[in-house]
Structure 1
């Protein structure tokens, strides 16, 4: 199985979570929230062949950490994965909208200049603006919209622009979320936890919890869970082959 958006470095016990993921043979994209966190987070999984570490600058921190953009640029050649990046239109972040846009657009330009990256993107309350930025930088790479929560019209636009989607258990617990899951292009979906931020009955989700998404997607798509599992594996192979022109870049 696959956890394509997890903050390994932000658990109280990151080494244990890494061991659990490794023992469960889960492919993990370990996203970071600041460039300064990337080296230390990468070191957590240095011996794990199924874990990759993405270089991020989270939109909630853009106004505080935008001075780290030169470090982002310097580190980018060392990884083929970028995340968590994007925009957040939540009311408390409105005063920082301009710096968010500047940071996200700069990150996309860096990625484009480096030949493209796989990007795990935050788009809460800002899907149209995120899509506008992606359209302006078509060579930035393959966009995976993490925990997408836009409208059905915005979903169709994202699909038309070639976006992928990473989905977790919280999406399956609301009527809107289940409707979005049902309409996702099945060949462009990967599972995620967003742990430790996303929780299950007060417990932070961990990579092995992605197995719960098999049943959620099985219900949304009206297919057997084994078919969902096979689809996820095929999607990961296709994503890495499409982005890197090889079937074995992630594994």
Structure 2
């Protein structure tokens, strides 16, 4: 199984979460929300080769943590993965929009300077602006739009730009999420959970709950779960080899 967007460091017992994910032989992309969290989160999975840690600065924290951009610049050379980064157009964050744009542009520029990275990108209520930023920084790397919730038009634009997508059981529980997944290129989709933020049956999603996304994609794409699993594994190998 693959969980391409999970906050391992934010579970009540991160060590146990890593142990269980490793015992299940999962591939997990462990995203971070601040540069200062990167080294400690990386240490959690130091003996788990299938768990990779991404360097992030979450858009909801951009106004508070923009002072950590210098640290981001120092650390970006140590990992192939960057996330969670992006923009958030939620009304509660409107007053911090310029900070978000400044931080995201700086991050994309740093990734370009480093030769490109695999990016796990947040785009809630800001898909168009995220795509605009990616067009300004074509060398930033391979964008993977996490939990994409934009319009069909924005989806088509993202597909035309070569974006990838990570989808989880919480996203696919809704009609809109399933409709968007139906139009995503199957060769550029990976599964995620967004745990522990995403909730399933009143509890925090765990990495192995990505299996629920496999079942949902099976229904959406009209293929068996075995076919979906094979497709996802092939996708992951293609993404890693292309970056």
The reply to whether TM is greater than 0.5 is: yes
TM-score by length of 2: 0.99
**SS of equivalent residue, structure 2 residue 143:** strand
How far apart are the structure 1 equivalents of 2:210 and 2:179? Answer: 19
Matched with 1:194 is 194
Secondary structure, counterpart of 1:178 in structure 2: helix
DSSP 3-state at the match of 2:85:
strand
Q: Alpha-carbon deviation of 1:184? A: 0.8
Residue 213 of structure 1 and its aligned partner are, at CA, apart by 1.2
Q: Which runs of 5+ in 2 are unaligned?
A: none
| Range 50-59 or range 199-208, more displaced | 199-208
Cα separation, 2, equivalents of 1:19 and 1:140: 33
Q: 1:51 corresponds to which residue?
A: 51
Distance 1:41 1:224 in 2: 35
| Cα displacement (A) at 1:191 | 0.2
**Alpha-carbon distance in structure 2 between the residues aligned to 1:227 and 1:178:** 18
Structure 2 residue aligned with 1:248 = none
**Structure 1 equivalent of residue 226 of structure 2:** 226
Give the deviation of 1:122 after TM superposition.
Answer: 0.1
Match of 1:231, SS?
A: helix
Residues in 2 aligned to 1:198 and 1:174: alpha-carbon distance in whole angstroms: 13
Q: Secondary structure at the match of 1:28?
A: strand
Instruction: Point out 4+ residue stretches in structure 1 off by more than 4 angstroms.
Output: none
Instruction: Report Cα offsets for 1:20-39 as digits up to 9, x if no partner.
Output: 11011110000000000000
- Once the two structures are TM-superposed, the CA of residue 214 in structure 1 deviates from its matched residue by 1.2
Corresponding residue SS for 1:121: strand
Cα shift at 1:219? 0.3
In structure 1, C-alpha distance between the alignment counterparts of 2:172 and 2:146, rounded to whole Å: 14
SS in structure 2 opposite 1:162? coil
Question: What's 1:249 paired with?
Answer: none
Question: Root-mean-square deviation (CA), in Å?
Answer: 0.5
Deviations 1:22-79 (A, max 9, x none): 0111100000000000000000000001000000000000000000000000011111
What is the SS of the residue equivalent to 1:190?
strand
SS in 1 for 2:104: helix
Report the equivalent of 1:83: 83
Q: Offset at 1:211?
A: 1.1
TM superposition shift of 1:15 = 0.5
Q: Tell me, in whole angstroms, the C-alpha distance in 1 between the residues paired with 2:150 and 2:180.
A: 9
Q: Which residue of 2 aligns with 1:32?
A: 32
Distance in structure 2 (CA, Å) of the matches to 1:88 and 1:207: 24
Counterpart for residue 156 of structure 1: 156
Structure 1 CA distance, aligned partners of 2:172 and 2:31? 22
For residue 21 of structure 1, give the secondary structure of its aligned residue in structure 2: helix
* Aligned twin of 1:102: 102
Q: Does the residue aligned with 2:111 lie in a helix, a strand or coil? A: helix
Distance across 1 between alignment mates of 2:121 and 2:142:
10
Q: Map 1:47-196 to 2 at 5 A.
A: 47-196=47-196
